[in-house]
């Protein structure tokens, strides 16, 4: 059984900025901004949270954790002016097919060892926690490192190895679209969540969610 990522393992206990994965070539963040926001009723990536658009907040947190940040979207002109310096857009050529298809497009275009996949509606992302998770990424064998809570994966704040791409393509060709099902077929390592990390994964789906939760 794979160990959970809740505390540093002996061979991985290194300072964040000297870890081999925390480098220009090791981890790239991919923020998804191609959903229909049907429950919200309007484009939630543009909605303000404490005065800052949700997409911009997520990109800011990602930029503090990874040296490369991309936004995958079919609407590049809509978001271009929101992006912090150093964040770039990847055109989503197949949109509206769900986050698993979006991840496949990201893995196809991004060649770094690990990809940090992020939804655009995570306003409580904590860069310090993300940096800590990066330092604990395994060197081999594991294809995904994903938070796990109440019996379910939290795939839209998870890490995916470049070598998981062939498995994902095969899964999609067979008609699979469920992140939960795909992760169950991979060598996936759980990230153990404390209360702070669990709160960080809270997301906005409806207008009522724009009021910050008590944490």
Segment 22-70, tens digit of pLDDT: 344 479 999 999 865 445 446 888 888 889 999 999 999 999 999 899 9
Residues with Cβ within 8 Å of residue 151, at least 6 apart in sequence: none
Correct CATH for 20-210 of 3.90.550.10, 3.30.559.10, 3.40.50.11400, 3.60.21.10: 3.90.550.10
Mean pLDDT, the chain, whole residue set: 84
pLDDT of the residue at 95 = 83
CA–CA separation, 40 vs 114, rounded Å?
31
Name the one residue in this structure whose structure tokens are 């998804």: 32
Q: How far apart are CA 66 and CA 83, in angstroms?
A: 15
Give residue-wise pLDDT tens across range 130-155: 999 999 999 889 999 999 999 999 99
In whole angstroms, give the CA distance from residue 32 to residue 97.
12
Rounded to whole angstroms, the Cα distance separating 193 from 147 reads: 7
- How confident is the model over 182-195, as a mean pLDDT? 95
Report yes or no: 161 and 142 within 8 Å, Cβ to Cβ: yes
pTM comes to 0.84
DSSP letter string, 94-153: S-SS-HHHHHHHHHHH--SSEEEEEETT-TT--HHHHHHHHHT--SSS--EEEEEETTEE
Which tens digit of pLDDT belongs to each residue from 149-166?
Answer: 999 999 999 999 999 999
Most confidently modeled range among 34-43, 45-54, 76-85, 99-108:
99-108
The answer on pLDDT for 210 being more than 90 is no
């Amino acid at each position: 059984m794979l160990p959970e990522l809740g505390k540093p393992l002996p061979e991985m206990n290194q300072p964040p900025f000297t870890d081999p994965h925390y480098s220009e070539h090791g981890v790239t963040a991919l923020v998804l901004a191609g959903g229909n926001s049907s429950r919200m009723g309007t484009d939630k990536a543009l909605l303000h949270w404490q005065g800052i658009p949700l997409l911009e907040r997520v990109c800011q947190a990602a930029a503090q954790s990874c040296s490369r940040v991309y936004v995958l979207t079919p609407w590049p002109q809509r978001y271009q002016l929101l992006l912090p310096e150093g964040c770039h857009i990847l055109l989503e050529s197949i949109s509206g097919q769900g986050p698993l298809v979006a991840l496949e497009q990201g893995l196809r275009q991004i060649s770094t060892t690990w990809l940090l996949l992020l939804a655009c509606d995570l306003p409580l992302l904590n860069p310090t926690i993300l940096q800590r998770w990066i330092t604990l990424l395994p060197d081999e064998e594991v294809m995904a490192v994903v938070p796990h809570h109440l019996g379910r994966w939290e795939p839209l704040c998870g890490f995916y190895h470049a070598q998981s791409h062939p498995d994902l393509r095969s899964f999609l060709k067979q008609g699979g679209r469920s992140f939960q099902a795909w992760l169950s077929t991979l060598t996936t390592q759980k990230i153990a969540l404390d209360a702070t990390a669990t709160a960080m994964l809270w997301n906005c789906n409806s207008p009522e969610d724009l009021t910050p939760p008590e944490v």
